[in-house]
Structure 1
Amino acid sequence: MATVTESVDVHVPLHTAYNQWTQFEEFPRFMEGVEEVHQMDPTHVHWKTRIGGVEREFDTEIFEQQPDERVAWRSTSGPDQVGVVSFQPITDADTRVTMQMEWTPEGFAEKAGSLMQLDDRRVHGDLERFKEFIEARGTETGAWRGEV
């Protein structure tokens, strides 16, 4: 199983960073390779990705969601993965966003990419683009404050 942990500090309050992260359908705006995301209900999300020329569709289940703290998910179809994104206040106006993921690379290309830490760079890039996205807006596009 491959693992990655990456963090980024964003210049927005904790609730703004968290609220934006709960807007899963906005992920294609800052996640490379994510073409579509559809939230089917509060705990189930359908993904369509194209990474390295490989198209995939899969579902994930949010099994833990604590407002302003963390969102954790696991795959229910497609690639085997589990992850959590956590939010930590640095100041009243700054937040650290940390993503931890584990997955099983499939096929030669994914296994080679994992060995070369390309997945670490992708997650780092996605967090940097999230930072640019939310800092440029200054406010979230929506929010879901429910607990799971």
Structure 2
Amino acid sequence: MSASLVETVDIQAPVSVTWALWSDVTRWPSFLSHVRLVEPLDERRFAWQLSLPGADKNFVAELTEVIPGERIAWHTTQGVHHAGVVTFHRLDDTSSRVTLQIEYDPKGFVERLGALTNLDSALANYDLGEFQKLAETAAAS
């Protein structure tokens, strides 16, 4: 059984800013609360360290699609199964909409509990809020 979540946030920052922040995977731990480390292995593959309640997870993810200024998609090739895509939409010259969609396999009690209680949705919402703060600060400076 796979679970999925979709979260969207409108940001007072142009797509160029939101794209630049998100496309630098080494910045992900600064706004994804459960990601401890993302290490590039080569141009398309990244080693992730996640810190979750009661469990640390390591996995390798591969970028499956990168369209500059529009979308970044990835899926895992080792470790926990999940796939995600983040899309960037221009609202006007100074604002953009970022949508995060993740599909995952809720293996183990902690993840199943999260899927059941919509903890994942709350976490994704929080993470997008952190990203929004980062992007709006960058756009203002």
Match of 1:24 in 2: 25
Which ranges of 4 or more aligned residues in structure 1 deviate by more than 3 Å?
Answer: none
Match of 2:89 in 1: 88
Q: Which runs of 5+ in 2 are unaligned?
A: none
What's the TM-score, normalizing by structure 1?
A: 0.90
Match of 1:145 in 2: none
Identity of aligned residues (%): 32
1:4 to 2:5 alignment? yes
1:80, distance to aligned residue in structure 2 (A):
0.8
For residues 28-54 of structure 1, give each alpha carbon's deviation from its aligned partner in whole angstroms, at most 9, with x where no partner exists. Answer: 111112111112222111100111131
Larger helix percent = 2
Match of 1:121 in 2: 122
CA contact (8 A) 1:7 1:96 kept: yes
Q: Which runs of 5+ in 1 are unaligned?
A: 141-148
Match of 2:75 in 1: 74
CA contact (8 A) 1:16 1:139 kept: no
Q: Secondary structure at the match of 1:76?
A: strand
Give the Cα–Cα distance (whole angstroms) in 2 for the partners of residues 77 and 137 of structure 1: 34
Distance 1:139 1:40, change over 3 A: farther
Give the Cα–Cα distance (whole angstroms) in 1 for the partners of residues 73 and 114 of structure 2: 24
Give the Cα–Cα distance (whole angstroms) in 1 for the partners of residues 111 and 75 of structure 2: 19
Q: Secondary structure at the match of 1:79?
A: coil
Instruction: Supply the RMSD in Å over aligned alpha carbons.
Output: 1.3
CA contact (8 A) 1:60 1:76 kept: yes
1:103 to 2:104 alignment? yes
Q: Secondary structure at the match of 2:133?
A: helix
How many residues align? The count is 140
CA contact (8 A) 2:38 2:49 kept: yes
